[in-house]
Structure 1
């Protein structure tokens, strides 16, 4: 198991937990749904990477990139570090690990 798989899995779990917290604190069904969908996509991507499917890495990078852009815009709009700033920073770290792994495999 490489670090890219761990990054995708961890960011997926974090996305699901963030969606649940958003639902509990603000009764935001959108947070719950989007956090669950993006988190499950990342967990599936990690699983398929573990199975040796190259497209799992691409899926993980795409979902993570979309989340980073979303949370960066949210951070710029709200100016609140939690949760947008934290998710942006952690997403950029996960994305850097994922892209590094893809580049290293070439």
Structure 2
């Protein structure tokens, strides 16, 4: 599976979560953090997709995705440990931890598998 297949939906989930957090609680931290990180991940996923279409890997996109997911894992994991609230801190920390592991795996295995060119 290619990184952009998970990164773009992950980014969209963060954007929606940030907007919901702002609408429900008036939290500008949710809005800024969720929308900002989500849009950054969507951009990284888009860069990775465009590189894949050119039969290349975008290691810049992979590293950006990994850093974003790792930071979210740390920040939301810390928040979960302080509040013990599953929503949103526990869920975002869990999903971000899984995404971090996925991105590290993709980097370790050489990025997205580029299929052989058929002639």
Match of 2:107 among 95, 102, 105: 102
- CA offset digits 1:27-82 (Å, max 9, x no partner): 11221111111000000010111122220111010111111101001101111111
Distance 1:6 1:70 in 2: 24
Regions of 4+ moved over 3 Å: none
Once the two structures are superposed, the pairs formed by residues 23-38 of structure 1 within 5 Å of their partners are: 23-38=22-37
Unpaired segments ≥5 residues, structure 2: 52-57, 112-119
Maintained 8 Å contact 1:3/1:97: no
Specify which structure has the higher proportion of helix.
Answer: 1
Match of 2:84 among 61, 79, 87: 79
Q: Which residue of 2 aligns with 1:91?
A: 96
Distance 1:101 1:63 in 2: 15
Q: Which residue of 2 aligns with 1:10?
A: 9
RMSD: 1.3
Unpaired segments ≥5 residues, structure 1: none
Q: TM-score if structure 2 supplies the norm length?
A: 0.82
Distance 1:8 1:43 in 2: 7
Distance 1:17 1:30 in 2: 14
Distance 1:98 1:20 in 2: 26
Distance 2:50 2:29 in 1: 31
Aligned length: 105
